[in-house]
Structure 1
């Protein structure tokens, strides 16, 4: 059995090999990269990315990254393309081929067919002398000196390089399009990242009860209100304006200070000037305010009037916290 030291040594060697290969990609960039970006940016069609084997898996990832950052893209498996899927490619589409060798049989069959259709072609390959490189309009050099595989066979370093080239394409296109955080939220409405960018306080507080007492509400009724609304807190209002807050903690402190509390009212128990937030504020702002002050609830206002409560559990449920 290998020792811990030898396993870690192999892991570090793998990481170092891939790190060095990625670092070398910068020196391999040419005008073809900038021209390919401009081609895609100015295209009226989509980006179709194709490959086979491990390169096909990388192609899928690049497609996902492009789609999520504003560049419409689709994946086409190179083997399926020559068995019926070639109709996926439309007239104005830009086709990106990913292949380490650039000389696979599927690529050699597929390239002339696409060239005849007059689609622009971009190659991501580690072999700039390959059939793929010579037939493509632009070549993005993804050369790596060796795979991390000790036999220099299993695609490891080479697929990492392909992925990095794809990321570089996506980010260049993102910047050209002026793709903003609002755009990102539009493309990621169901994810936690998107929710941080579009979810507002009102979206959370509207699903909660709205605990509320006045300055003269008795201690007993305050306990009932907090218990029934199940948020561990109630606002103290005067003509629908927030004047204070009472939490479970305030009630416990009240009980430790006095055996007799039936004569107490909200005015005697509350904390004045509580932290609050406007309902149109972003939910992530509520999270930051809670974290800053070490609290679990925030009172919510709408145009200066009491509008409800947002609880830390709301943020957890939505995956924001």
Structure 2
């Protein structure tokens, strides 16, 4: 822990680095202390949780209010019906948002926030269980709570031991841990999380299907001649064409790489080649209802990784193609 005197001298690089490391060490020490507390409170909280359908309310003032808001936001992303209720606004009409029965998490470093003390009787009259994340477990608020999580600290990082720094960090960590505990106890799955994050990377991995990213395929017949194959690949926009029969059933795929290999092996005889002689038969395929991440995995784990795969229906009829570029561009990897 650094002393106040550390900041009284002329600031320099060495003193700044020393203070930085001291602050990190102080937080580490506070976390070690935190890890040895609240075991009984954890057990009590888990006994209250019955699925994700219960209304969860968070509340606090100032920095504690910001942490309370963050917790409710985290819980919403985990499929809980969670809201932040400002204690002052609650007493001027916002109490109407409270249902009957639920969980209320309140945050206070001092444990004596009078706005929260005024709010609690109204929450309890609606049969809310109150969980306090408090800096003083012997405080007035602690006595009003059903469960108390001890978020007390030895001192703030601030050299004057005033600005909420250590206390806000510890409260935020407790809030995140409790959100995770509640979610795990309620059995929230990664699919439910993704459902609430459709534009996020995880959401796209778990929800975006091939049908949303595939594009129209350029089709040629098995008897298409070499120069027509080259022309078709040039206009395809994806460096490949699909070889099909008269009913558009997939027979193979030809990429620009196949063209180069054919030229190297057939040489002057290349112009007499037909699509059936050049194409890769039985290529990797995928259906449009599969996930885009699955298409990417197929592309990457082929014996020879590919950049495009055909999209076919159950009868092997071509419906399009999907390119690795389309998938990666969506942030799926």
Fold similarity call, TM over 0.5: yes
Aligned to 1:224: 231
Matched, 1:163 2:163: no
Q: List runs of 5+ in structure 2 lacking aligned partners.
A: 1-9
The range that moved more, 209-218 or 220-229, is 220-229
1:237 aligned to which of 228, 233, 244: 244
Distance 1:62 1:15 in 2: 24
Q: 1:84/1:229 Cα in 2 relative to 1: closer, same or farther (>3 Å)?
A: same
- Specify the SS of the correspondent of 1:111: helix
Displacement of 1:118 in angstroms is: 4.4
Q: 1:201/1:48 Cα in 2 relative to 1: closer, same or farther (>3 Å)?
A: same
| TM-score with structure 2 setting the length | 0.84
Aligned to 2:312: 301
Distance 1:39 1:11 in 2: 41
Aligned to 1:251: 259
Displacement of 1:282 in angstroms is: 2.0
Aligned to 1:48: 57
Distance 1:150 1:269 in 2: 74
The range that moved more, 6-15 or 132-141, is 6-15
Superposed CA deviations along residues 73-102 of structure 1, whole A, max 9, x for unmatched, are 100122322343233322223221111111
Displacement of 1:55 in angstroms is: 1.1
Q: List runs of 5+ in structure 1 lacking aligned partners.
A: none
Is the 1:44–1:92 contact (alpha carbons within 8 Å) kept by the matching residues of 2? no
Superposed CA deviations along residues 212-236 of structure 1, whole A, max 9, x for unmatched, are 2222111222233223331211122
- Specify the SS of the correspondent of 2:133: strand
Structural mapping, 1:73-88, within 5 Å: 73-88=82-97
Matched, 1:311 2:319: no
Displacement of 1:116 in angstroms is: 4.6
Q: 1:43/1:119 Cα in 2 relative to 1: closer, same or farther (>3 Å)?
A: farther
Is the 1:50–1:77 contact (alpha carbons within 8 Å) kept by the matching residues of 2? yes
Is the 1:214–1:266 contact (alpha carbons within 8 Å) kept by the matching residues of 2? yes
Alpha-carbon RMSD across the aligned residues, in angstroms, is 2.7
Distance 1:69 1:119 in 2: 21
Distance 2:273 2:13 in 1: 66
Matched, 1:60 2:91: no
Distance 2:264 2:307 in 1: 22
Matched, 1:290 2:299: yes
Q: 1:123/1:204 Cα in 2 relative to 1: closer, same or farther (>3 Å)?
A: same
Q: 1:8/1:288 Cα in 2 relative to 1: closer, same or farther (>3 Å)?
A: farther
| TM-score with structure 1 setting the length | 0.87
Structural mapping, 1:108-147, within 5 Å: 108-147=117-156
Distance 2:142 2:193 in 1: 34
Displacement of 1:287 in angstroms is: 1.6
- Specify the SS of the correspondent of 2:156: coil
Aligned to 1:70: 79
Is the 2:216–2:319 contact (alpha carbons within 8 Å) kept by the matching residues of 1? no
Q: 1:96/1:249 Cα in 2 relative to 1: closer, same or farther (>3 Å)?
A: same
Q: 1:76/1:218 Cα in 2 relative to 1: closer, same or farther (>3 Å)?
A: same
Is the 2:75–2:179 contact (alpha carbons within 8 Å) kept by the matching residues of 1? yes
Q: 1:216/1:319 Cα in 2 relative to 1: closer, same or farther (>3 Å)?
A: same
Distance 2:41 2:161 in 1: 28
Distance 2:268 2:27 in 1: 70
Q: 1:225/1:27 Cα in 2 relative to 1: closer, same or farther (>3 Å)?
A: same
Distance 2:293 2:55 in 1: 34
Displacement of 1:112 in angstroms is: 3.6
